[in-house]
Amino acid sequence: MSKRPASTETFDPAIASKRPKPPSGITMALERIQLEHIPQSYRVYGALFRDVSNASFLQTQLISRNPEFEYAFIDASTIVSRAHLLAAVWNAVYTSVEGNLRTPNVHSEVVASLNINNNIADGYRRWGITPDKTKDLVVVKILSSPETLSDVEQQKEAEEVWAHLTAQIEGRPVGLIDGEIAQVTDWQKVRKYYKLNGVPVLDQMKDDTEKRKRTESLAIMGMALRGL
Amino acid sequence: MTEPATEFPPPKILTLSPTHKPILITQGAEGRLYKTPSPFQPNQFCALKYRPPKPYRHPILDARLTKARISSEAKVLDRCYREGVPVPAVLAKDAAAGWMMIEWIEGEPVRVGINTWLGERPEDDAVVDTSQEDETPLIDLMKRIGVAVGALHRTGVVHGDLTTSNMMLRPWADDRLPNGHGSTSERAKAVAGDVIVIDFGLAMQSQSDEDRAVDLYVLERAFASTHPRAERLFHHILDSYREAFKKAPGVLHKLEDVRMRGRKRSMLG
């Protein structure tokens, strides 16, 4: 298989870091995530916070439907990899574009999309933020507007999101990358939630990297086949 | 595979992001296969299988059939993948819209690999003495096919359309490639790689020896007509199938019956 054509825009963190930093001087660990097959007018931002100490407060904001807290808050221990997370994000955005949301909004849809069955409450409970339990938190923010934003507007938007997140989340921001995610994954939980205990293909595998890759594929497949 | 992609409007899913033009890979009776960037894996492609609506069917029936077929294919792939049968992983699907995205498998179909190995030699094999040459790389490929089919049947799935076009040869990393130089090694590379079974559009779950034997029979017939010059090596597939699959003896016994009467179990003769 050939590489994607050179004209393709892919997100390059190295380029992003050359952009103007937020005025506060905080290094921005918020990433604009590029997804394919969704309208350009959608912007998806993601971040990972370690050692979060105010999960209860954050969950309360979600439950009270505080309009300032329109985020997908995901317990990072249930995430296998970046691709696993993005599969759920993509599904939520696609579902929203198609007008088939099963939950109140696109952010809750991200959490529900991580589930392999159609029980929405169950999805929130397992993959969502849990008071006193969630220590590491993935945050996803999805925005859309009728027109595509200019680079300057988009940068401003990202900075606003980031400023709000860092003001409200008591935790340590790190990059939303496989290396960081792997440190917080709870494999027992993942195997239970995705019904992977006793799956022959995983039991046969010795190599850890290979095993993680397979687990990622199986989780994504489980999500894609939800309800079947 | 012959007509350009512009013949058909692509499915809606491929029109949402206008930056990438999908490539139509094949056009079958039931569906189309596109190569397109993976929705959420940067710098990777995926295969999008799309079953367009059929205008001659009643819309409600059409929608129901399309949805059921996409779902059934996804289910079979999931089952195989979990059991370790070499098949592409499912990435996403919208059965109601008639599409599913699966892992893009690199490489060429097994059909192409075998034909490259056989080369552009004259049809009349008697002229060329092939008995002297080392056929090990091709025989090894046949054995890998037998193992793959054995694994598939062990899982309780019959493919329904086993041909060398419905198997991919995913290249190995360089260190697994055959050593040596010159044309011999080049030919060996053509038949190197992991065998991945694709296109489960006609697959079904079955444990019956009869269905499995028909699967093998279809492969045998397809092989003989696609690669007549390698037909005498077909038994290597069955040999490794027998080794890979505990219940193979019953299936191979049934295969004898199927050969006698053909694929259809018709009582009308």
Model ipTM value: 0.88
- Among the partner-chain residues A3, A39, A199, the one whose CB lies closest to the CB of B16 is A39
**Average pLDDT for residues B76-104, to the nearest whole number?**
96
**Average pLDDT for residues A182-191, to the nearest whole number?**
95
Give residue B30's pLDDT. Answer: 83
Q: Of the residues B62, B140, B161, B239, which is catalytic?
A: B161
Domains: count for chain A: 1
What helix, strand, coil percent values describe chain B, rounded to 5? 45, 15, 40
In a domain? residue A8: no
**Average pLDDT for residues A113-134, to the nearest whole number?**
95
Whether the Cβ atoms of residue B162 and residue B148 lie closer than 8 Å to each other? no
Q: How confident is the model at residue A129 (pLDDT cuts 50, 70, 90)?
A: very high
Give residue A147's pLDDT. Answer: 82
- Among the partner-chain residues A36, A91, A200, the one whose CB lies closest to the CB of B38 is A36
In a domain? residue A12: no
Say whether pLDDT at A3 is over 80. Answer: no
Averaged pLDDT score across all residues of chain B: 88
Say whether pLDDT at A19 is over 50. Answer: no
Q: How confident is the model at residue A203 (pLDDT cuts 50, 70, 90)?
A: confident
In a domain? residue A2: no
CB count, 10 Å around CB of B109? Answer: 17
Written in H, E and C, the secondary structure of A89-114 is HHHHHHHHHCCCCCCCCHHHHHHHHC
CB pairs A-B closer than 8 Å: 101
Distance between CA atoms of A188 and A201, rounded to whole angstroms?
17
Element (H, E) at B115: helix B110-118
Query: Which segment of A168-172, B4-8, B27-31, B152-156 scores lowest on mean pLDDT?
Result: B4-8
Give residue B9's pLDDT. Answer: 84
Task: Please give, rounded to a whole number of angstroms, the shortest distance from the CA of A77 to a CA of chain B.
Answer: 20
| CB atoms A1 and B78 under 8 Å | no
Give residue A18's pLDDT. Answer: 44
Kindly report the pTM of this predicted structure.
0.88
Helix, strand or coil for residue B55?
coil
Could you tell me the domains of chain B?
A: 5-103 (3.30.200.20), 108-261 (1.10.510.10)
In a domain? residue A71: yes
Give residue B7's pLDDT. Answer: 64
In a domain? residue A1: no
**Average pLDDT for residues B94-105, to the nearest whole number?**
96
Helices B182-190/B110-118 angle, 10° precision: 160
In a domain? residue A6: no
Whether the Cβ atoms of residue A39 and residue B13 lie closer than 8 Å to each other? no
Give residue A13's pLDDT. Answer: 42
**Average pLDDT for residues B131-142, to the nearest whole number?**
85
**Average pLDDT for residues A204-225, to the nearest whole number?**
92
Say whether pLDDT at B117 is over 80. Answer: yes
State pLDDT tens for residues A76-109. 999 999 999 999 999 999 999 999 999 999 999 9
Is A225 touching B (CB cutoff 8 A)?
yes
| CB atoms A98 and B94 under 8 Å | yes
**Average pLDDT for residues B96-117, to the nearest whole number?**
95
| CB atoms B92 and A87 under 8 Å | yes
Q: How confident is the model at residue A27 (pLDDT cuts 50, 70, 90)?
A: low
Mutate which: B21, B40, B152, vs A, most A CBs within 10 A: B40
- Give the domain extent around A56: 27-224
| CB atoms B37 and A37 under 8 Å | yes
B161 is catalytic: yes
Give residue A22's pLDDT. Answer: 43
Say whether pLDDT at A40 is over 80. Answer: yes
Whether the Cβ atoms of residue B101 and residue B91 lie closer than 8 Å to each other? yes
Give residue A24's pLDDT. Answer: 46
| CB atoms A38 and B16 under 8 Å | yes
Give residue B18's pLDDT. Answer: 63
In a domain? residue A138: yes
A158: domain CATH number is 3.30.2380.10
- How many Å is the maximal CA-CA distance in chain A? 52
Say whether pLDDT at A142 is over 70. Answer: yes
Task: Please give, rounded to a whole number of angstroms, the shortest distance from the CA of A158 to a CA of chain B.
Answer: 20
Say whether pLDDT at A166 is over 60. Answer: yes
Contacts 24+ apart (CB under 8 A), B170-175: B170/B105, B170/B106, B170/B107, B170/B194, B170/B195, B170/B196, B171/B106, B171/B107
Share of chain A above pLDDT 90, in %: 75
Give residue A132's pLDDT. Answer: 87
Give residue A5's pLDDT. Answer: 43
Whether the Cβ atoms of residue A78 and residue A114 lie closer than 8 Å to each other? yes
**Average pLDDT for residues A151-179, to the nearest whole number?**
94
**Average pLDDT for residues B248-255, to the nearest whole number?**
96
Of residues A48 and B177, more confidence is placed in A48
Backbone angles phi, psi at B229, to 5 degrees: -80, -10
Determine the residue type at A84.
Answer: H
In a domain? residue A19: no
Q: For residue B49, give every residue at least 6 positions away whose Cβ sits within 8 Å of its Cβ, in sequence order, or none.
A: B31, B32, B33, B70, B73, B99, B100, B101, B102, B201
Mutate which: A97, A118, A221, A228, vs B, most B CBs within 10 A: A221
Say whether pLDDT at B22 is over 80. Answer: yes
Give residue A20's pLDDT. Answer: 44
